[in-house]
Amino acid sequence: MSKRIVHYINQFFGGIGGEEKADVRPEMREGVVGPGASLAQALGEDYEIVATIICGDNYFGENIDEAVAEIMEMVKKYEPDVFVAGPAFNAGRYGVACGTIAKAVAEQLEIPVLTGMYEENPGADMFRKDMLVVATPNSAAGMRKVVPVFTTLIKKLANGEEILGPAEEGYLERGIRVNYFAEERASTRAIEQLLRKVKGEEYHTDYPMPVFDRVDPCGAVTDVSKIKIAIVTSGGIVPQGNPDHIESSSATRYGIYDITGMDTMSPEDFMTVHGGYDRQFVLQDPNLVIPLDVLREMEKEGRIGELANYFVTTTGTGTSTGNAKAFGEEFSKKLLADGVDAVILTST
């Protein structure tokens, strides 16, 4: 009997449409669709892509729980030997969706999973520790190049064969430390590499240190009563209806919303979409995350100079540091242009 594969792709690769169709709900089709064709051909007769699941990237991002549940039901029905998602290349939302659904399948159904992304796809950093993510070029033009990588890994996963290192197999390193016997002992290797370092040549470390992207804090504010303050939050506060479709986790977007003339964050006007905490109290009183009520009082009393007439918001949970950094770099420019002197960051 041939090995069974279920393939997950987005609305674009499924041929449904581009951005305008990004909110389509998951649907399942028998057999191969889109990029699955080249995989199926390379895999040969002993493997069969039994079904393809197609889902809009926005639908997935904005309705993670529902989308995962729906897709999981579809996958279960086919009892696959391997679940393949993507590859997503450099498409951020697609990458996050591939990682999220593959992780859920691996954990809940205990089926081997495989996806593929460009290294700088935000989904890559989020999920490389959890699964095999094939390193792909940054666009679908590179599909042909990665097909053999996918087929080798799919076959190994289906047959429970040993997966070699990232360099041999072509996946992004998962950060798992695995022992091996080196040709030279560590003292010999250390001398070799140290001499290279001393000479200013390239050298190789066995263990790259974790890099923390630290930001030096600005100098202290001298007089709070004379400055303009803005509120920035990762607590997922958005206007009712979430007009900009900010995701409930793993955000790829942020929003800037007006509070001109408001003295308090009314639950009629605002809600939270954050998927990482119990939202009940914040839905009743959004001031818990955006303390507009208190800040307005302080503004009136002259204890702070001025409050900016908007707040900046996104969802922190699961959001890649790459995305978070990009948001910050972008909206800081606006804050500076608007003469904001300091921000209050609230998290949840």
DSSP tag of 311: E
Binding to another protein (CB under 8 A) within 3-42 occurs at none
Residue type, 12: F
- CA angle (19, 130, 112) in 5-degree steps: 90
179 binds another protein (CB under 8 A): yes
* Helices of type H across 247-339: 280-284, 292-300, 321-337
Q: Please report which helix (H) or strand (E) contains residue 231, including its range.
A: strand 228-233
305 binds another protein (CB under 8 A): no
Cross-strand partners of 322: none
Does residue 44 sit in helix, strand or coil? coil
Does residue 150 sit in helix, strand or coil? helix
Rg (CA), the chain: 24
Burial of 284 (0-12, 13-18, 19+ CB in 10 A): exposed
Distance CA 184, CA 287 (A): 62
Candidates 160, 180, 219, 222; binder of another protein (CB under 8 A) is 180
Please report how close the Cβ of residue 174 comes to another protein at its closest, in angstroms: 6
- When the beta carbons of 204 and 325 are compared against another protein, the nearer one is 204
Please report how close the Cβ of residue 199 comes to another protein at its closest, in angstroms: 7
| CA end-to-end distance (rounded Å), the chain | 51
Candidates 110, 177, 217, 223; binder of another protein (CB under 8 A) is 177
What is the CB neighbour count within 10 angstroms for residue 306?
A: 15
211 binds another protein (CB under 8 A): yes
Please report how close the Cβ of residue 197 comes to another protein at its closest, in angstroms: 5
Candidates 30, 65, 161, 206; binder of another protein (CB under 8 A) is 206
* Cβ-contact 312, 230 below 8 angstroms: yes
- When the beta carbons of 185 and 333 are compared against another protein, the nearer one is 185
Please report how close the Cβ of residue 171 comes to another protein at its closest, in angstroms: 9
220 binds another protein (CB under 8 A): no
- When the beta carbons of 189 and 334 are compared against another protein, the nearer one is 189
178 binds another protein (CB under 8 A): yes
Distance CA 18, CA 133 (A): 24
Candidates 141, 176, 220, 337; binder of another protein (CB under 8 A) is 176
107 binds another protein (CB under 8 A): no
Candidates 182, 283, 294, 345; binder of another protein (CB under 8 A) is 182
Place of tokens 């016997």: 181
195 binds another protein (CB under 8 A): yes
- When the beta carbons of 44 and 165 are compared against another protein, the nearer one is 165
Distance CA 299, CA 150 (A): 59
161 binds another protein (CB under 8 A): no
Binding range to another protein, per CB under 8 A, among 98-106, 118-126, 181-189, 238-246: 181-189
Instruction: List all residues 6 or more positions away from 216 whose beta carbon is below 8 Å from its beta carbon.
Output: none
345 binds another protein (CB under 8 A): no
What is the CB neighbour count within 10 angstroms for residue 230?
A: 23
Binding to another protein (CB under 8 A) within 110-139 occurs at 129
* Residues found near another protein in the complex (CB under 8 A): 129, 163, 165-166, 173-191, 193-195, 197-199, 203, 205-211
